[in-house]
Amino acid sequence: MNLQLTKEKSVELSGWTGSTKKQFINLFKDKGDNVSEKDVMSILVYPFITPSDVYYSEDEIQYILIHLRDLSLTDEIKVETECSNEKCKKDLFQSVNVKELCEYTEGKFPIVDGPITWRELNKRDDVNMTHKQHKEEPYIYVEKYLHIEKYNDEIMTGFQRIMDVLDDIPLKDYNEVSDNYDRNRSKIELGYTFECVCGTETKIEMDSIPDFFNPLLPKEINFGSKKI
């Protein structure tokens, strides 16, 4: 399955297997609450995408993960809320396909927007390696600014040059860099809109999808004193 992420970047997906579930269970047995996002990606994402060594943003990874789950499983997600109509307040329940819970906007990189020429990052580890060399900068800034290929037609020869240029521009222009980045990057929003029998539409927003990983774990599994 081919999934389009930006106007020029796509990824080929293949479904999870029985061994994927075994590895995922063992991960939680071994690490419990110490499981990291990197651990999850190493089992559920990178072995099942091509290419796997290029850079994918956090929102792109989330979009990929949703489609990998949909490709691999038939289990629906149960969502619930209360009707937003004060005169109704009916409890609303729905079982939906996981893809119905996300709205994705494709990124526009590479693109020229105002004084900035934005590029797509090539290697998966570019951000991590640069951040290790510039630990004084927040990770999110490193990720954002590495996408700058040119500023006012000057080719950025390295991350330090990018920072030097941005440090010297007026504050209003500096703030615009972030706005510029946000309107061109890939974005995902999680949520669902219920339609009540009273005719009211009630939209819920989510930070994460409930019970997303449940089909990959036994209904009850003991990890010492922990239960998942």
Which mean pLDDT values do the consecutive 10-residue runs of the chain (228 residues) have?
94 97 92 90 97 95 98 96 96 97 96 97 92 94 97 96 97 97 97 96 95 84 41
**pLDDT at residue 28, as a whole number:** 87
**pLDDT at residue 228, as a whole number:** 34
* Per-domain boundaries in the chain: 2-106+186-227, 111-184
Are β-strands 77-82 and 49-50 bridged in parallel, bridged antiparallel, or unpaired? unpaired
The radius of gyration computed from the CA coordinates of the chain, to the nearest angstrom, equals 21
Residue in 76, 14, 103 with CA at minimum distance from that of residue 215:
76
Residue in 110, 74, 90, 101 with CA at minimum distance from that of residue 184:
110
| Phi-psi label, residue 102: left if phi above 0, alpha if psi -120 to 50, beta otherwise | beta
**pLDDT at residue 220, as a whole number:** 59
Whole-angstrom CA distances from 65 to 15, 62, 71, 134, 215 are 11, 5, 10, 30, 14
Amino acid at 61: I
**pLDDT at residue 223, as a whole number:** 40
**pLDDT at residue 32, as a whole number:** 82
